[in-house]
Every structure is written in structure tokens, then in C-alpha cells.
């Protein structure tokens, strides 16, 4: 009955019982930070619903055609609702098309499954259109929604779903998992566990993305160099990040969370909080920076970076956004050595 999901045993037991005891709800909402396993758990649940060779009811064989097609998101009875090309949100026309599909009988399996990942990226109009399906679901249909938080979702949507809240595991537990299940060396597993803050899916992605790790290293080194540099040098980097224009927003989404993680670590160190650092490979630099700032200043920088990330979608001029953020950085009298 192993679903091959790490760290969410209580959720596995709940969902298995819903399948085996036929206590299914018509909609489930998986909530938790990115990389915590929301989508993977939803797909395992879909497999348990439609697996053609379960050892017992509620089990997943992960070998039959249904299981393999569901996991690869190619099953004929699995509908995936994501933003269309060129759009950042799911639109009302997409919801209407999904409703038409769900009104049909399952093609090859007991249930039609609708997977709506990152449901926070759905317009208000589209979410309202979905309410009719949630209130009067067709027979043999199960809807699986994921979101990073309940904040911003329509209360009427949330109230019609079985909410499954997923939380990160401990840093040590994720490190142990990466060593035992993925064969990573202890130091690499430790770094990945810290970078992911206990989100095992994110930790696995970090370990498999060497280009991403190289970019992270470069972005942190640029930040450290600029902390004792003048505005001209800082604005030069902002100009580089904003080129070419059609890649500027993508670059912003890459670099700003990395900078945010550094300032979060500085705030943790400056405030004396007993919390694990994210960037443990830059611990000496974090603590040096924290020794030059007070906790209030560090907190202000954390909030400024969080705001910048939130503004990225709406901001037309990414270069100006980054320049404005850099103006809030302190100019340290002592360089931070790398």
C-alpha cells in the first residue's frame, strides 16, 4: 500500500481510508508551500482511485497502465487545468471547457479526475464559474486542487473541499531521506535539506538541477560583492538582469527569492532566533552581515524583498523594480568576503 510519498503519513492514511471505505469527497484541496509534495500526493491519490491492479483497495501498484498514465498526466480520464500559453492565470473559458469534459462518463476508469494545480493562479471569474461544479458535481468525478495557501482563495471554494494541509518535514528527516533513498553524500544532502527548508520535493529538484545551483551561487556572490559597492555598480547589475527585455521577468523570479533567502538568514542571525539557516554554505558571510546590522533593519530588508516578488507580475519595468530594491540595501563599511 506504499504510495512512495515522504513525510505526510497522516494524509496518506486519510486518503487511503477515503478510497478503501468509499468515503470519497467530490473535491480535495492540497495546501502547502511549493515543493512540499502537493501535486505528487494528488497524483498518488488519483492513482489509488483508478489503479487497475491494486493489492488491496486504496493501494497503488504504480505499474499498471492507469497508474503510469496518471503519473505522467496523460491518462484519458485525467483533466489538467493550468494557465494557457501566454497567460499567468486560468481563465473562465478554460473552466467551462473542463465542466463540459467532466459531464461525460469516464472513458476507461472508475473516476474522472480533474487536477487543478496552483489554484491561486485562477481568476475570480474562473473560480466563481467552478463553484457550480463543486456544488453539484457529476457522478464519478473527483476534483483535486492544490494551492500554496488558503489566503486569497474564495471561501466558498475552500468550504466545498476537503482541505489537506501539508507542512515541511524536519531538516534532519529530509537529509536522512536524501542519503538513504537518493544516495546523496551527507554534506550534499545536508545542503539540499537546508535550501529546501524541509520540502522534500524541492530538495530533490535542487539536487538534480546543477545549473540552478550554479546560478544560485553566482547570484549570492553578486549580492555579497555589491553590499560594499556604490550605487553605480548595483544599477549596472540591475541593467544586466533586465536584458534581454523578454527574459527580464524570468530572471527576476530567479534572483529575487535567492536574495530573499539571504536576508532571511541575516534576520535569523541578527535576531538570535534558534532557526536553521537556508544558505548554510554561506553561513560565515551571513553572520558577518548580521554583525553589521540590527534585527529591525534585517527584517525591513526581508519585507522589501517579499514585496518586490509580489510586485513582479504587475511591474512593467523590472529593471526599475530591482533598482528600487537595491536602494534599500545597506552599504556595508566592511566587505563581505567570499
Q: Please determine, for residue 336, whether its predicted confidence score (pLDDT) is greater than 90.
A: no
CATH number at residue 37: 3.40.50.300
Q: What is the dihedral of CA 66, 69, 71, 74, to 10 degrees?
A: -140
Do 133 and 245 reside in the same domain of the chain?
A: no
Q: Please determine, for residue 312, whether its predicted confidence score (pLDDT) is greater than 90.
A: no
Q: Dump pLDDT digits (tens) for 141-190.
A: 999 999 999 988 999 999 999 999 999 999 999 999 999 989 999 999 99
- pLDDT confidence of 249, banded at 50, 70, 90? confident
Cα–Cα distance, 168 to 275 (Å, whole number): 14
Q: Which among 124, 126, 125, 101 has a CA at the least distance from the CA of 114?
A: 101
Do 233 and 103 reside in the same domain of the chain?
A: no
- The arithmetic mean of pLDDT across residues 244-265, rounded, is 92
Structural domain contains residue 4: no
Cα–Cα distance, 83 to 118 (Å, whole number): 10
Q: Which among 278, 258, 309, 266 has a CA at the least distance from the CA of 196?
A: 278
Do 24 and 148 reside in the same domain of the chain?
A: yes
Domain count, the chain: 2
- Please report, rounded to a whole number, the percentage of residues in the chain having pLDDT higher than 90: 79
Q: Please determine, for residue 331, whether its predicted confidence score (pLDDT) is greater than 60.
A: yes
pLDDT at residue number 1: 52
Q: Dump pLDDT digits (tens) for 68-80.
A: 999 999 999 999 9
Q: Please determine, for residue 131, whether its predicted confidence score (pLDDT) is greater than 70.
A: yes
Structural domain contains residue 183: no
Structural domain contains residue 32: yes
Cα–Cα distance, 60 to 47 (Å, whole number): 6
Question: For residue 260, what are the domain limits?
Answer: 210-326
Cα–Cα distance, 260 to 325 (Å, whole number): 11
Do 25 and 110 reside in the same domain of the chain?
A: yes
Structural domain contains residue 91: yes
Do 140 and 73 reside in the same domain of the chain?
A: yes
Do 13 and 159 reside in the same domain of the chain?
A: yes
Structural domain contains residue 255: yes
Burial class (CB in 10 A: 0-12, 13-18, 19+), 276: middle
Do 58 and 113 reside in the same domain of the chain?
A: yes
CB distance 262 to 225 below 8 Å:
no
Last residue within a domain, chosen from 165, 198, 225? 165
In Å, what is the CA distance from 118 to each residue of 27, 38, 91, 304?
A: 15, 9, 13, 24
Peptide bond between residue 196 and the one before it cis (omega within 30 degrees of 0): no
- pLDDT confidence of 87, banded at 50, 70, 90? confident
Do 152 and 218 reside in the same domain of the chain?
A: no
Q: Which among 74, 69, 8 has a CA at the least distance from the CA of 38?
A: 8
In Å, what is the CA distance from 87 to each residue of 84, 91, 121, 122, 132?
A: 5, 9, 10, 11, 24
Structural domain contains residue 152: yes
Amino acid at each position: 500500500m506504499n504510495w512512495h510519498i515522504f513525510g505526510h503519513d497522516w494524509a496518506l492514511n486519510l486518503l487511503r481510508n477515503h478510497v478503501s471505505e468509499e468515503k470519497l469527497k467530490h473535491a480535495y484541496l492540497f495546501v502547502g508551500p511549493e515543493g512540499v509534495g502537493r501535486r505528487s500526493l494528488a497524483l498518488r491519490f488519483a492513482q489509488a482511485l483508478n489503479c487497475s491492479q491494486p493489492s488491496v483497495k486504496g493501494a497503488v501498484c504504480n505499474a499498471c497502465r492507469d497508474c503510469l498514465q496518471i503519473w505522467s498526466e496523460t491518462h484519458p480520464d485525467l483533466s489538467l487545468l493550468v494557465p494557457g500559453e501566454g497567460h499567468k492565470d486560468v481563465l473562465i473559458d478554460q473552466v467551462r471547457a473542463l465542466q463540459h469534459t467532466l459531464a461525460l462518463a469516464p472513458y476507461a476508469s472508475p473516476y474522472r479526475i480533474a487536477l487543478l494545480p496552483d489554484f491561486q493562479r485562477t481568476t475570480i471569474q474562473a473560480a466563481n464559474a467552478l463553484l457550480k461544479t463543486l456544488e453539484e458535481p457529476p457522478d464519478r468525478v473527483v476534483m483535486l486542487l492544490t494551492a500554496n495557501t488558503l489566503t486569497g482563495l474564495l471561501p466558498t471554494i475552500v468550504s466545498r473541499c476537503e482541505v489537506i494541509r501539508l507542512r515541511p518535514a524536519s531538516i534532519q528527516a529530509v537529509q536522512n531521506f536524501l542519503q538513504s533513498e537518493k544516495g546523496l553524500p551527507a554534506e550534499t544532502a545536508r545542503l539540499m535539506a537546508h535550501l529546501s527548508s524541509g520540502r522534500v520535493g524541492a530538495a530533490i529538484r535542487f539536487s538534480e538541477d546543477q545549473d540552478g545551483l550554479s546560478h544560485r551561487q553566482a547570484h549570492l556572490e553578486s549580492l555579497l560583492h555589491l553590499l560594499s559597492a556604490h550605487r553605480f555598480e548595483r544599477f549596472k547589475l540591475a541593467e544586466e538582469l533586465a536584458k534581454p527585455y523578454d527574459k527580464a521577468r524570468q530572471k527576476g523570479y530567479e534572483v529575487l527569492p535567492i536574495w530573499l533567502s539571504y536576508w532571511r538568514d541575516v534576520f535569523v542571525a541578527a535576531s538570535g532566533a534558534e532557526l536553521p539557516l537556508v544558505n548554510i554554505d554561506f553561513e560565515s558571510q551571513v553572520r558577518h552581515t548580521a554583525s553589521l546590522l540590527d534585527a529591525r533593519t534585517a527584517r525591513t530588508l526581508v519585507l522589501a524583498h517579499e514585496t518586490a516578488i509580489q510586485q513582479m507580475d504587475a511591474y512593467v519595468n523590472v529593471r526599475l523594480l530591482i533598482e528600487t530594491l537595491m536602494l534599500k540595501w545597506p552599504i556595508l563599511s566592511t566587505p563581505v568576503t567570499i
